[in-house]
Amino acid sequence: MRPEAPERGRRGWSLKLGATVLDAAHVRFAVWAPRAETVEVRLLLTGGRDRVLPLRRSGEFFAADCEGAGSGSDYFLRLNGRRDLPDPLSRYQPHGIHGPSRVIDPAAFGWRDHGWRGLPLEDYVIYELHVGLFSPEGTFDGATCRLDYLQEELGVTAIELMPVAQFPGSRSWGYDGVHPYAPQNSYGGPEGLKRLVDACHRRGMAVVLDVVYNHLGPEGNYLAEFGPYFSERYRTPWGEAINYDWRGADEVRRYFIDNALYWITEYHLDCLRLDAVHGIFDNSARHILQDLASAVHEQASVLGRAVNVIAESDLNDVRLIDPPSRCGFGLDAQWNDDWHHSLHSTLTAERQGYYADFRGLAHLAHAINHGFVYEGQRSAFRGRRFGSSSRGHSPCKLIAFAQNHDQVGNRAEGERLSALVPFEALKLAAGLVLLGPNVPLLFMGEEYGETNPFLFFTSFLDEALGEAVREGRLAEFARFGWERVPDPQMPETYERSRPDWSRRLEGDHAKLLALYRRLIELRRRTPALAGCRGNVEATAMPEERLLMIDRARGEERCLILASFDDSPTTPHLPLPRGVWRCLLDTSWEEFGGRDRMWAHDSFRAEAEPVRLRFNPFALHVYARSQIRSQTPG
């Protein structure tokens, strides 16, 4: 029988396994370990006076209440009298992946975010960051010190943390974590993460956490010694797949669903971003993603907060965001790689790898209008038909971005967009992301045009694993034609990826930051550009190398005109009738423009095409100042 933990407060849920603080002198230890004959708790007491306590077996579970243990106690679980391992539900690994687990009392933290109810997804402007690189300290507290910058100087409403579950060493993207319940010790552990979330909420900012439910890292991964956590039927590109649909899967499913509930309940998180769900394999009648989303939404209702679940997938599978009533999984949103690939290939003219599937402005307009570009037609890159249609879904169901950790860091040399396109094109990309109808996501440093790369880095303690990673990266990039691949294990690879925050105060970097701030302000204050509601129609004009986006909400209407030409142009454009007033031109001097003469403060559109002037890669935003045009005279 599965152990029951006492309910603490009106949370609707609590962890039943792991270490549960009962009072100041008692802790209940419980573990699912069908592969063990015996399980004991080894308490590490001061002065080397360790204490070993047997756990009582009940079916596949082992549990016991231990006197003399409390919050802060360190312990191992001893399997079969000889193997000391960290707890599979360890809340903290203060000494790293192989060390003892530490008892944490979730009720001990003094939260000050009372009254916080979360944000609707349409109000999210997401800023993705890597905790280790985001501040000089490389900690949760260091990130907290930069929140005023994110909110006041930039204007984002949500931060997204790359995975923080305990990983080997102190340098990692976080996708090789092996303790899903334990915030990284070198980042500041549980207390540091809670302080960061609390500080965000007190500023009115939401927090998204990237979680990995498709695999665990290879080093320090002890779950298989406890039970059948991994599948013998499937394999991911990153290692063993999780067992969601075979013998023992019920408890494995509960382990990861509980993990999601743990983050939103004990850490007050507002949103979970599920990494690479195309690596989650489940042939059950009811998919794990549907169960997880349902459990999160139910718990959010109990907590009285808005909590969202976002998927990352490269399958263009609309079932992720379809409601269960339409045989979907009921997730709130998913990343749209097609949006990124359309924009990136148009700006850079790159055609290697998956960029071979994307053909300029027509695909970009399609992504803005309908979401997925590949809706079932043949993909040359994949050599087969690919995708499903996201038409009919709210634009809030899709996340749009010009850069993110994957699209930058999975290039061999980690080049950001700032290293690939002219400065004016960076401004164009910013305008399309932030004024488009989808939920926008920015990547750390993008807002001021950071030029340092963001490379792939690891700090495996096992040298054989480090060598395997090196060889794997070389093989992965062979089909892209990229031969120079920095060594992920070298500390300098990590240091090269550190943003230089002083740049945001200088020259064009400061001008680009001013533009991002203005674009976010326009999105927030202009009804036709606010959030994901209203009508949107993007039109590609390939001959003029121009994209027009017509956005309307109620009586408000805005035009976004984006030139992809690298030279000045004066196209004649068929535009909606009315008097149009310029809200923003990326060519303005305050945004680093070189030639103010090209800007149009206003113009009148009638039946005939209007001649407008554009600087290279300029983006103009206009609002209609009267609903019906009038004939002069």
**580, exposed or middle or buried, with CB in 10 Å at 0-12, 13-18, 19+?**
buried
Distance CA(406)–CA(613), nearest Å, equals: 36
Quick one: which of 417, 415, 444 has its CA closest to 504?
Answer: 444
CATH 3.20.20.60 matches 18-102:
no
Alpha helices (H) in 130-234, listed in sequence order: 131-134, 140-144, 147-148, 189-202, 223-226
Burial grade of 389 (CB within 10 A; 0-12, 13-18, 19 or more): middle
| CATH fold match for the domains 18-102 and 535-624 | yes
| pLDDT of 534 | 85
Set 312, 446, 550, 585: catalytic member: 312
Residues 530-571 have pLDDT tens digits of 988 889 999 999 999 999 999 999 999 999 999 999 999 999
Residues of the chain with pLDDT below 70 are 5-10, 478-483, 595-599, 626-633
CB 65 within 8 A of CB 26: yes
Contact (CB, 8 A) for 299 and 13: yes
Among 159, 240, 209, 132, residue whose Cα is nearest residue 499: 132
* Cβ atoms within 10 Å, residue 628: 8
**φ/ψ (deg, to 5) at 40:** -125, 155
Q: Where along the chain do its domains lie?
A: 18-102, 123-199, 212-309, 535-624
Distance CA 36, CA 56 (A): 12
Return the pLDDT at 481: 66
Residue keyed to tokens 């899709």 = 398
Is 521 assigned a catalytic role? no
Closest CA to 121 of 394, 444, 526: 394
Tokens describing residue 323 = 């409601």
Q: How far apart are CA 426 and CA 131, in angstroms?
A: 25
Decide if 40 contacts 14 (C-beta within 8 A): no
Looking at residue 613, what DSSP letter applies?
Answer: -
Contacts within 8 Å (CB) and 24+ apart, 251-256: 251/32, 251/60, 251/227, 252/227, 252/228, 253/288, 253/291, 255/32, 255/88, 255/89, 255/229, 256/180, 256/213, 256/288, 256/292
Q: For residue 306, which amino acid is it?
A: A
DSSP three-state, residue 552: strand
Q: For this structure, is 543 an active site residue? A: no
Strand partners, 549: 538, 560
- Indicate the angle between helix axes 337-348 and 423-435, nearest 10 degrees: 160
Looking at the domain 535-624, which fold is it? Immunoglobulin-like (2.60.40)
CA trace torsion 485, 489, 494, 496 (10° rounding): -40
Check 123, 251, 270, 275 and give the catalytic one: 275
Q: How many helices (H) and strands (E) does the chain have?
A: 14, 31
Q: Which helix (H) or strand (E) holds 26?
A: strand 26-32
Q: Give alpha helix (H) positions in 246-391.
A: 249-266, 288-303, 337-348, 360-370
> Alpha-carbon distance 309 to 304, whole Å?
16
pLDDT digit string (tens) for 431-459? 999 999 999 999 999 999 999 999 999 99
562, HSE (Cβ side, Cα atoms, 13 Å): 27
